[in-house]
Amino acid sequence: MLKRLLIANRGEIACRIIRSARRLSIETVAVFSDVDRDALHVRAADRAEHIGGAAARDSYLDIEALLAAAAKSGADSVHPGYGFVAENAEFAQACADAGLVFVGPTPEAMRAMGSKIEAKRIVAAAGTPVVPGYQDSQDTATLAAEAERLGYPLLIKASAGGGGKGMRLVEDSGGFETALAAARREAAAAFGEDDVLLEKFLTRPKHLEVQILADTHGRTLSLFERDCSVQRRHQKVVEEAPGPSVDEALRARMGEAAVAAAQAVGYVGAGTVEFISEGDEFYFMEMNTRLQVEHPVTEAILGLDLVEWQLRIAAGEALSFTQEDLTIDGHAVEVRVYAENPRRKFLPSTGRLVHVAFPSGVRVDAGVGSGSEVSVHYDPMLAKIIAHGTNRAEAIERLDRALAATEIAGVEHNVSFLRRVLADESFRAGDYTTALIETGGDALIPAHRPEALAVAAVMALRVRRSDSPWQRGDGFRINRRGRERLTLRHAGTTHEVHLEITGNGYDVSVAKTFFAVRDIADSEGDSGAESGSGSDGRFVATINGSRVRWRIIRDGLDWYLLADGASEKVTEIEPDAASLADQGPGDGRVLAPMPGQLLSVDVKQGAAVKRDQPLMVLEAMKMEHIIVAPIDGRVTELPVSAGDRITEGSVLAVVSGD
């Protein structure tokens, strides 16, 4: 068995690998960048090595730094995890050259399958059906002509890598060249090369993938399929195993095709062959020469630890079971919890996690905890939550209950959105396609809960008031009732909130909305008992006749209200800042939605623009975000240039109406 394992990754990926290595009595070495010094994976490992700056290219993508860390720590093996250098054949070769055991396939297999173009050639020659497409010349004019031949809609896909990076859906010829340029830029930034291929876009596709496992003794097995069709921006959000629409015949055909593809390149270790399907037909898309984020659902239905088997295979062990030994036990569903804001087109959210509490009774793979920082430099995934049941309905219900019990404060997140996806009729029926989120539209986006303002106002007032009999909270006054006014910010808007203290609670008014807050249950905890950062408690009361329960987390002037997986942030505005005006929806200012780097600025000062016209491209959290004009008008201020690093909320441009 391996003795000391360096994990060339971070976050929940590294934490997941550490757990399995520890069961096998393998020492673990974590690596960390400047911003990850106190990260959970660093604390979980037996030892840790610093490898460079915050940007991935200066640390987790730096092959020389990773090899130096392995040498310094005395590691005899390297696990690349998934992402970063996990599918980098040069890294696998460098490990071999340095005398390190690489926990994964050979560099030759990675090169063969690492290019989507080459992989499609290999499997097509073996008789596996592939999606109609084009994958030869990279000349722009040739690609445009081939796009016309294939017909629209079609996908432009980066040849290297995956995860939706460098992928664009093009609806018609008018948007082809813009989408091609964006796909190339994103591919170059993520994978170091900008080659692309074209694929016909199926109208009702399912995304199915087969987990394979192969040892060095000639045995290659199919570990059955996963359905990964719930996607946003071509990135998976919900995964389940087995596929609810897959019958035994289709399962056998896909399994045989996946095993044949792996054997064609002499594959060793864990890998995934991805297919796109419509009805009973399926087409090869790509092979991921690594472990997948969604591997826990396969582990749940088979009772296997895939990381353990990766390590055993790397150490030369043979698989101890055959294809006939594998049977499916029940059903498993996984969701990816992201730091992002569904109400703002899923923009990633950064900052300090003031409070995190994950549920019990289900599997949680997380790389963060209370106090962790969510950085702009890396993927915004916080955790994966996986539920297993005797059948699909039971697994979904267990997962939904687990999400309802999840508490996250400090950044925006998608937990409420995930619960709505699980409740979607087409998802429950199992006949959903990759368009589920797109067709679900606004029905999947959780609305703000307006009573959060009333709860925060009451709690803020209770903190401010002293124990003086003249400041009692029971409404006692000589000849008058107690009245207070607070200024609070919620959901991007500043509100003046009026409170009147009654004998059994508070009357709270916000503009024309009235909340009668009554029967507050102090016995369940008063979050206002402490005014320091991070104090917390429970708020139980009746508001306008309905009983409500919130978990309250206070961090300075910020109040986080948590219930049923939802999170609401309300901020107290100090009196000297209360007069600051909000940004109006049509004032023409273009503010940075998050910190990042400007890849391009596509307009000049003085240019006339139309509402929603692209102005510039912002790169953040490994994705490109197009910044558009808020109104029709003229660009009167443009204080930024391509290449600038910008902070959240900074002014990128001002568009003045004509």
Assign residue 652 the CATH number of its domain: 2.40.50.100
The answer on 428 and 524 residing in a single domain is no
Domain co-membership, 443 together with 455: no
Of 395, 415, 447, which one is at a domain's C-terminal end? 447
| 604 and 564 together in one domain | no
Report the C-alpha gap between 382 and 373 in whole angstroms: 10
- Average model confidence (pLDDT) across the chain: 90
Range of the domain at 148: 132-200
Whole-prediction pTM: 0.82
Q: At what angle do helices 306-314 and 295-302 cross, to 10 degrees?
A: 90
Which one is predicted more confidently, 14 or 528?
14
- % of the chain at pLDDT higher than 70: 92
211 and 317 housed in the same domain: yes
| CATH classification of the domain holding 425 | 3.30.470.20
Does residue 225 share a domain with residue 307?
yes
**Percent of the chain scoring above 90 in pLDDT:** 70
Tell me the CATH number at 159.
Answer: 3.30.1490.20
The number of helices, as runs of H, and strands, as runs of E, in the chain is 16, 39
Last residue of a domain, one of 329, 359, 389: 329
pLDDT at position 648 over 80? no
Nearest to 519 by CA among 551, 544, 500, 552: 544
Q: Would 127 be classed as within a structural domain?
A: no
**pLDDT of amino acid 466:** 52
- The answer on pLDDT for 274 being more than 50 is yes
Residue 470 pLDDT: 46
**Predicted pLDDT at 246:** 96
Q: Which of 447, 477, 500 is the last residue of a domain?
A: 447
Question: Does some domain include residue 77?
Answer: yes
Specify if 170 maps to a domain.
yes
**Active site residue: 168, 290, 449, 551, which one?**
290
Q: Tell which residue, 341, 419, 331, has the closest CA to residue 621.
A: 341
Same domain, 441 and 350: yes
Assigned domain for 584 exists: no
Residue 55 lies in a domain: yes
* Burial zone of 298 (CB within 10 Å; 0-12 exposed, 13-18 middle, 19+ buried): buried
Q: What is the residue type of 550?
A: W
Total tally of structural domains belonging to the chain: 6
> How sure is the predictor about 658, in pLDDT bands with cuts at 50, 70 and 90?
low
Tell me: do 546 and 650 sit in the same domain: no
Tens of pLDDT, residue by residue over 82-110, are 989 999 999 999 999 999 999 999 999 99
What local confidence, expressed as pLDDT, does residue 347 receive? 86
User: Is the same domain home to 238 and 324?
Assistant: yes
Q: Is 290 a catalytic residue?
A: yes
Q: Is residue 115 part of a domain?
A: no
Contact 122, 265 (CB under 8 A): yes
- Has residue 119 been placed in a domain? no
With both helix axes pointing from N to C terminus, report the angle between 107-114 and 89-97 in degrees, rounded to the nearest 10.
Answer: 170
